[in-house]
């Protein structure tokens, strides 16, 4: 594939803009500056350097971000910074979208992709991909609250009680719970229905992909990484 087309496919602008990027000496391949935008390269294993970044060709992109508090999962945030500001512009330009959302004050693992099939598979309630959270509560946790979360709590807009797959107390004011739903403010609403209130919420895992067990590279808040086939397998996704 011509170099300008490769760069365009990866989010570096229009073909005209990508040609200019190459002709201006902004692209390196194998450590050497290339200036011919029409040079042909095999996309398999293709890597180039642009600015301070090393970019590898990917037909579809899959990303894990450690989301900090204070960011909205929207391209047009109303009151805070957009979570998309934490990703390099080429990834946003190629239309990588968040897989579901985390509230502005919720931290933790957030996935992105430009693969619509992947987004649907991870988000779909029918696929029942689990999400694991750690909630810090306003009041000390009571055994009855854990029992209620496991048995199912009644929410105002749900016809039937909603239960956590797992729930356990891990501190005086901390609960860890696993759900397979993705509804609006669900964890906060469940804990409120059980008789407590969430002060802080952190999602540490999606499926078997976790920020805490070594299944991902160590990510500090605001850090991101590409997901490899081994990571997608932990999500049960094979394409």
Q: What is the CATH number of the domain that holds 223?
A: 3.30.70.580
Residues 135 and 176 in one domain: yes
Of all residues in the chain, what percent carry a pLDDT higher than 70? 100
Total tally of structural domains belonging to the chain: 3
> Whole-angstrom Cα distance, residue 216 to residue 201?
20
What residues does 82 pair with on adjacent strands?
72
Residues 139 and 182 in one domain: yes
Active site residue 103: yes
Residues 25 and 39 in one domain: yes
> Whole-angstrom Cα distance, residue 178 to residue 149?
10
Task: Provide the residue range defining the domain that includes 44.
Answer: 3-56
- In this prediction, residue 237 has a pLDDT band, given cuts at 50, 70 and 90, of confident
Provide the CATH number for the domain around residue 187: 3.30.70.1560
Residues 31 and 141 in one domain: no
Of all residues in the chain, what percent carry a pLDDT higher than 90? 86
Provide the CATH number for the domain around residue 7: 3.10.290.10
Residues 152 and 218 in one domain: no
Per annotation, catalytic residue among 103, 115, 180, 213: 103
**What DSSP line would sit under 116-155, residue for residue?**
HHHHHHHH-TTTT--EEEEEEESS---HHHHHHHHH-B--
pLDDT tens per residue across span 18-62: 999 999 999 999 999 999 999 999 999 999 999 888 899 999 999
Is 218 inside any structural domain? yes
Residues 138 and 82 in one domain: no
Residues 170 and 52 in one domain: no
Q: Does the structure show a pLDDT above 80 at 182? A: no
Q: Does the structure show a pLDDT above 70 at 167? A: yes
Which of 56, 75, 96 is a domain's end point? Answer: 56
Give the 3-state secondary structure percentages of the chain, helix then strand then coil, rounded to 5: 25, 30, 45
3-state DSSP call for residue 40?
A: strand
When the pLDDT of each residue in the chain is averaged and rounded to a whole number, the result is 94
Is 36 inside any structural domain? yes
Predicted local distance difference test score (pLDDT) of residue 171: 96
pLDDT tens per residue across span 94-138: 999 999 999 999 999 999 999 999 999 998 767 779 999 999 999
Predicted local distance difference test score (pLDDT) of residue 125: 66
Q: Do the bridges between strand 198-206 and strand 209-210 make them parallel or antiparallel, or are there none, so unpaired?
A: antiparallel
46 or 237, higher pLDDT: 46
Is 239 inside any structural domain? no
């Amino acid at each position: 594939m011509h170099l300008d087309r490769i760069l365009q496919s990866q989010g570096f602008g229009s073909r005209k803009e990508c040609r200019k990027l190459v002709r201006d000496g902004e692209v390196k391949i194998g450590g050497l500056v290339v200036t011919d935008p029409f040079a042909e390269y095999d996309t398999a294993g293709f890597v180039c350097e642009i600015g301070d970044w090393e970019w590898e060709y990917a037909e579809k992109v899959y990303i894990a971000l450690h989301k900090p508090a204070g960011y909205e999962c929207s391209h047009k945030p109303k009151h805070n910074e957009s979570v998309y500001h934490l990703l390099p512009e080429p990834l946003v330009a190629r239309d990588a979208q968040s897989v579901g959302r985390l509230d502005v004050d919720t931290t933790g693992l957030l996935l992105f992709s430009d693969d619509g099939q992947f987004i649907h598979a991870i988000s779909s309630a029918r696929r029942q991909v689990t999400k694991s959270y750690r909630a810090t509560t306003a009041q000390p946790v009571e055994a009855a609250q854990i029992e209620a979360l496991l048995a199912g709590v009644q929410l105002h807009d749900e016809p039937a009680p909603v239960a956590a797959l797992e729930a356990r107390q891990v501190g005086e004011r901390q609960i860890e719970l696993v759900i397979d739903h993705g509804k609006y403010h669900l964890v906060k609403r469940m804990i409120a229905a059980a008789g407590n209130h969430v002060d802080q919420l952190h999602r540490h895992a999606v499926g078997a992909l976790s920020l805490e067990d070594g299944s991902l590279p160590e990510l500090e808040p605001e850090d991101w990484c590409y997901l490899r086939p081994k990571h997608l397998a932990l999500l049960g996704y094979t394409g």
